[in-house]
Amino acid sequence: MSRFSDCLWDIAISEVQKKENVGKEDDDDDAEGAELSERSVFFLGNKNGGKTTIILRCLDRDEAPKPTLALEYTFGRRSKGHNTPKDIAHFWELGGGTSLLDLICIPITNNSIWMFSIVLVLDLSNPNELWPTMENLLQATRKHVEKVIAEIGKTNSKTANQIKQNIWRSMPKDHPDRELIDPFPVPLLIVGSKYDIFQDFDSEKRKIVCKTLRFVAHYYGASLMFTSKSEALMLKTVTRAFINQLAFGLDKSKSMSVDHSKPLLIPAGLDSLNQIGSPPASDSDLAQFRARTPMELWKKVYERSFPPKNTNCNKDVKDPAKDPQYAESEVDAMRTQKDQELEQYKKNVDKSWREMALESHLR
């Protein structure tokens, strides 16, 4: 039975362990010495970008995806072999695009950071929102991950240093770009979703998006792949393979495709700045951009072709109850009434305290 002080994470782990222990008693001798692995995968990205669909695919759940409200959790299991404990993968999904960044701190903790990875799902059919969504989510996530690592370093510097070293595992030691990139502090997979729509874009626009995402993924030491709802594109199996590598530690896919006329598929560490080339702009145009870093230069070039739309409405929505996509007329009317009653109550209480303070002063 859960204690009142248990947090959602503790309860979830407890429930998983209970299910795993059912019928396990008879297999204890055979499973002796087997190690249980637990990993966490955190899905971020555009609203309605396809995060839930990808998770359901990986878990082989044949059900219609529902809109994600705030932060949602589920888990998957995978057997290593006969009479051995099943590995557990914790799947977290952040809804609301960039409007609920404060919730990023919930799944990323001192305990989970060791086996933690990020899947950033970007909607290829909406290229104008691609860069701001990517930038805001990665900056907020990186800031919190580095904060967690710093907290660990206060009591165990060796452990913190080990976590920092692990980020270079995906990059070969002899890679020519090792000194030019800045790997993300945890494994990162960038997924371009809705390729079935994106493939009909003008070829020059597709090239700009593809080259930009290749640079960003390579700079962060991340894997990059495109996916789609269309089964005809044969991307379902590839998606599952990449996610399972993060969730269950399976062997990394060696397949690779950098052809901009086809879905991109680039495992971390296999691309290079030389193969990617310069930002898609003429030398004279590049000379006009004032940029302090390569990332800033690519951003300026990208936003010239795909200027970001006004995202103030998303940034202002901190409370899911105020998000237009969850509007319910009767519920919202009652909520408004209760909010008004609460405000009136606050005023009455404040007035009472003022009167009591005045009487006390007069005495």
Q: What pLDDT is stored for residue 296 in this prediction?
A: 94
β-strands 223-226, 265-266 pairing: antiparallel
Q: What pLDDT is stored for residue 354 in this prediction?
A: 62
Mean pLDDT of 285-311: 88
Model confidence, pTM: 0.76
Residue appearing with tokens 């009767």: 330
89-104 pLDDT per residue, tens: 999 999 888 888 899 9
Q: What pLDDT is stored for residue 28 in this prediction?
A: 46
Considering Cα of 236, then 136, then 290, then 221, what sign does the dihedral take? negative
**Dihedral (C-alpha) 150, 152, 158, 159: value to the nearest 10 degrees?**
-120
Whole-number average pLDDT of the chain: 82
pLDDT band at 236 (very low <50, low <70, confident <90, very high): low
Specify the length of the chain in residues.
363
276-287 pLDDT per residue, tens: 999 988 888 888
Nearest to 119 by CA among 51, 181, 49, 20: 51
Q: Could you give the CA distance from residue 259 to residue 273 in angstroms, rounded to a whole number?
A: 15
